[in-house]
Structure 1
Amino acid sequence: MSISPNSQYSLCFALSLLGIFNSLIFSEATTLELIHRDSPLSPVYDPSLTHAHRLRNALHHSLDRVNSFKHANRTKTPLQTYGGIYFMKYSIGTPPFEVVGIADTGSDLIWTQCRPCIRCYKQTPPIFDPSKSKSYHTLPCKSSFCSSRYVESPGCSKGTCQYYYDYFDNSHTAGNLATETITIGNENPVTTSKTVFGCAHDSAGTFPSFASGLIGLGRGKLSLLSQLGIRKLSYCLTPSIKNTSKIVLGEDAVVSGAEVVRTPLATDSSKYRITLETLSVGIKRIEFEKDVMEGNMAVDSGTTFTFLPPALYNGLVAALDKTIRYPRVVDPHGVLKHCYDIGEPEKIIFPIITAHFKGGDVKLKPINTFFWVTDHVVCLSMLPSEVGFFGNIAQLNFWVGYDLEASTVSFKPADCTS
């Protein structure tokens, strides 16, 4: 199977969820449009960024994500300020006040900057003032949510529950844990009351100025999905920035059909973790040197590239070198590790790499495994790491479904541009 630099998705993958809802009936299904962050349609589009800049940014964000999971046993929270690759517009308070949050599948807490600011990072949109909302209520210290089971570093001040999150890049957010009315959607909006969120009065670090905070879309009790009672979601990520991607929420978001592969979610993790047993290049099966750990791969929309255990990565590139008969070269951008100089890109035939997950095999096409960094240089879009991630390049042109009731992740090949 062949791909070319012009036909492949050539910009680093980072989507923006604009919150375009036709209707929100979670007992059925709701389809949302996803717009690529580097698309001219994106409100944060920066035409001055080069391909090399976007590639380096994607790697830095991915490595931050990997490091956050690698050190999750420390006292700092395993979140990253740029971990989520979607951003979402919604309204908070009564009357509704529009805010923009970075949606993060790797975390749970919803938080937004609030007035008065003891210390706030520079935020372009107006900052939410809870004193002007009729529906804002702080949570007391005795609340069941004021617990380390739900938030990092809970505290108490004058009877009000407080939270503090410290990030690995030395960013932080702190404030009051509260409840508020949240309104989602522009047309036929849905309003939910008494939604628990963090009202941040002290936030600093590398948070982007276009965002008011984060929206947790993880598996925990305080995530937006859990609080809205959403148990199923699926998305189809397009390889082209000229087309919008789709995400579906609700009971009809099940991925089904003859080509569906289902793999169980790890039972002992609050993250979306699945088990990769091995890989194949063509018919060459690569075996792990040691026993496979359950939940060794995180399916995380915040990570661009796929990260593999070093032994498996080394076996993969060795098998590729036996199949791809082109000179090895260094990535001119210094990002990816295993690259080839393709003299005639239109003639290259890439091997199929199969991911053997617990419960089924997912055949990855070249668009999922190789990344053109120049017109003639193509690199494997996978990197070695002690912490495994199934990145979003690997998820392009698949319907990926999360069923939290059945505790499974599903993959189905698709043309996400149609």
Structure 2
Amino acid sequence: MGYPILFHLSFLFASLCILLISFSTIEVVNGGFSVNLIRINSTNVAHLLDTVQSPTISDNGVHIIEMSLGNPPTKYYGIMDTGSDLIWSQCLPCEDCFPQNYPYFDPKKSSTYTSVYCQEHECNQLEERNKGCSSNNQCRYTYSYGDSSITQGELALDTITLESSSGGVIPLQYMMFGCGHKNTGNFGKKMMGIVGLGRGPLSLISQIGSSFGGRRFSHCLIPYSNDNNLPSIMSFGSGSEVVGDGVVSTPLIKEESKPFYYVTLEGISVGDTYLSLHSSKGNMIIDSGTTLTFLPQKLYDQLVDEVKKQVPLQPIIDDPKSDDRLCYSSTNLQDPIITTHFEGADLQLKPIQTFYPSNVGVSCFAFRSTSKDAVGIYGNLVQTNYLIGFDLEREVVSFKATQCNAHHV
């Protein structure tokens, strides 16, 4: 099949010809392109950098990215997940699919849909434990997730279309994705699948590669309690860099053959009280597909004890089945301010990022415990209201405090 990411050259050529009618010059910049716009009835020239991007929205503890799939392109809404690598969509025929608000993707209606067979290079991108072969030699996959969700189907190639900051579209052919015929789990009706954004070879960012000026992307997640229909954006390649005043960065710790973004958490502060985490490098995964943050038991217990000291309210039992959940009868907590101390980067978190609305009038702590030696997970609630950039060229992740509900398309 050759290299799995190719521009639809005929579309791109036609698009550039159309652009030439409206723009004076087009120049290649670091794998992307910039345009010099001549406004009608004006001699002023404005220099624009065209950034590849997609809208995102918040929905019940996850964040959904909007793209298009197939040719002609049909809208696709998938959970954005930096903790996995497969892109998949529910597909016809559905043997077992969860209900969604939109039609299931029909491969027969896409002129660019191509099956992947077991002997082909693309099938070998799957890990052995996820790979199978059908009776007609088609490449099969099975993926399971930490919340017990499962998707099964055929690995295929098709066109994925992204948007650009100038309002245009960027179609990418021969993108590997899972056409899921059996999918189970706790999915809402606005979701059609998952968009893996991890480091593995099947992820969106890995397949895009350096096509847009570098293997980098950024997102800005809107807090859980904000309007779910308010969009933010996710950007790719040139123009997605997190720069300016207040930016802090921490090194990414690379683990061979694993799709996760590992970073090093050194400790957590509650107000002025510092709680140290004595652990090895790469002890946390930044995961946009997990809602809560999971910490080693000892650090979690210390954190909860300190939060109880600093919140001037009596905790309540919100769920008798979950005795480790810390909740309060309040939706307007002002304290405490919690700071996560990563290697080289201190991130200050307000209660809107560390507590979430559970029941009416109840806020619960967005942290949980994990086993003693397990790697922790930095979930999406604590990532909200930060512009977060993953730069795989420099092997760093950068953070900038941002009102994400103003960071919209």
TM-score by structure 2 length?
0.72
Instruction: Write the deviation string for residues 188-234 of structure 1: whole angstroms up to 9, x where unpaired.
Output: 22211111222334445655555443322222111122212262222
The equivalent of 1:125 in structure 2 is 102
Q: Indicate whether 1:354 and 2:339 are aligned.
A: yes
The whole-number CA distance in structure 2 between the counterparts of 1:356 and 1:313 is 15
Instruction: Write the deviation string for residues 354-384 of structure 1: whole angstroms up to 9, x where unpaired.
Output: 2111122222223222446578765433222
The equivalent of 2:401 in structure 1 is 413
Instruction: Write the deviation string for residues 366-409 of structure 1: whole angstroms up to 9, x where unpaired.
Output: 32224465787654332222352222221222211111111111
What SS does the aligned partner of 2:393 have?
coil
Structure 1 gaps of 5+ residues are 1-22, 39-57, 59-83
1:279 corresponds to which of 264, 268, 272: 268
Instruction: Write the deviation string for residues 82-109 of structure 1: whole angstroms up to 9, x where unpaired.
Output: xx6314341313x334444333322222
Q: Indicate whether 1:200 and 2:180 are aligned.
A: yes
The equivalent of 1:395 in structure 2 is 383
What is the CA-CA distance between 1:325 and the residue it aligns to? 4.0
The aligned amino acid for 2:270 is V
**C-alpha contact (below 8 Å) 1:338/1:380 kept by paired residues:** yes
The equivalent of 2:87 in structure 1 is 110
Instruction: Write the deviation string for residues 62-83 of structure 1: whole angstroms up to 9, x where unpaired.
Output: xxxxxxxxxxxxxxxxxxxxxx
Q: Indicate whether 1:298 and 2:291 are aligned.
A: no
Q: Indicate whether 1:264 and 2:264 are aligned.
A: no
The whole-number CA distance in structure 1 between the counterparts of 2:156 and 2:392 is 26
The aligned amino acid for 2:272 is I
Alignment root-mean-square deviation, CA: 3.4
The equivalent of 2:157 in structure 1 is 179
The aligned amino acid for 1:138 is S
The equivalent of 1:309 in structure 2 is 296
What is the CA-CA distance between 1:34 and the residue it aligns to? 2.7
Distance 1:184 1:340, change over 3 A: closer
What is the CA-CA distance between 1:252 and the residue it aligns to? 1.8
1:30 corresponds to which of 49, 52, 62: 52
The whole-number CA distance in structure 2 between the counterparts of 1:327 and 1:168 is 32
Instruction: Write the deviation string for residues 242-283 of structure 1: whole angstroms up to 9, x where unpaired.
Output: 743332222221112332211111211421221111112233
The whole-number CA distance in structure 1 between the counterparts of 2:261 and 2:172 is 25
Distance 1:280 1:208, change over 3 A: closer
**C-alpha contact (below 8 Å) 1:120/1:201 kept by paired residues:** yes
What SS does the aligned partner of 1:225 have?
helix
Structure 2 gaps of 5+ residues are 1-18, 20-28, 33-49
Identical amino acids, percent of aligned pairs: 39
The whole-number CA distance in structure 2 between the counterparts of 1:184 and 1:190 is 5
The whole-number CA distance in structure 2 between the counterparts of 1:373 and 1:141 is 46
- Larger % of strand: which? 2
2:193 corresponds to which of 205, 213, 234: 213
What is the CA-CA distance between 1:303 and the residue it aligns to? 2.2
Instruction: Write the deviation string for residues 38-81 of structure 1: whole angstroms up to 9, x where unpaired.
Output: 6xxxxxxxxxxxxxxxxxxx5xxxxxxxxxxxxxxxxxxxxxxx
The aligned amino acid for 2:370 is S
**C-alpha contact (below 8 Å) 2:67/2:75 kept by paired residues:** yes
What SS does the aligned partner of 1:147 have?
helix
The aligned amino acid for 1:160 is Q
The equivalent of 1:338 in structure 2 is 326
Q: Indicate whether 1:383 and 2:357 are aligned.
A: no
What is the CA-CA distance between 1:341 and the residue it aligns to? 5.7
The aligned amino acid for 1:137 is T
The whole-number CA distance in structure 2 between the counterparts of 1:318 and 1:171 is 33
What is the CA-CA distance between 1:292 and the residue it aligns to? 0.7
What is the CA-CA distance between 1:168 and the residue it aligns to? 6.3
The whole-number CA distance in structure 2 between the counterparts of 1:366 and 1:204 is 33
What is the CA-CA distance between 1:114 and the residue it aligns to? 3.5
The whole-number CA distance in structure 2 between the counterparts of 1:179 and 1:89 is 15
**C-alpha contact (below 8 Å) 1:400/1:412 kept by paired residues:** yes
Instruction: Count the aligned residue pairs.
Output: 345
What is the CA-CA distance between 1:112 and the residue it aligns to? 2.6
2:139 corresponds to which of 161, 174, 180: 161
The whole-number CA distance in structure 1 between the counterparts of 2:145 and 2:405 is 36
TM-score by structure 1 length?
0.71
The whole-number CA distance in structure 1 between the counterparts of 2:266 and 2:291 is 21
Tell me whether 114-123 or 315-324 shows the greater mean CA deviation.
114-123
The aligned amino acid for 1:200 is G
Distance 1:34 1:143, change over 3 A: same
**C-alpha contact (below 8 Å) 1:92/1:99 kept by paired residues:** no
Distance 1:322 1:197, change over 3 A: closer
Distance 1:191 1:340, change over 3 A: closer
The aligned amino acid for 1:217 is L
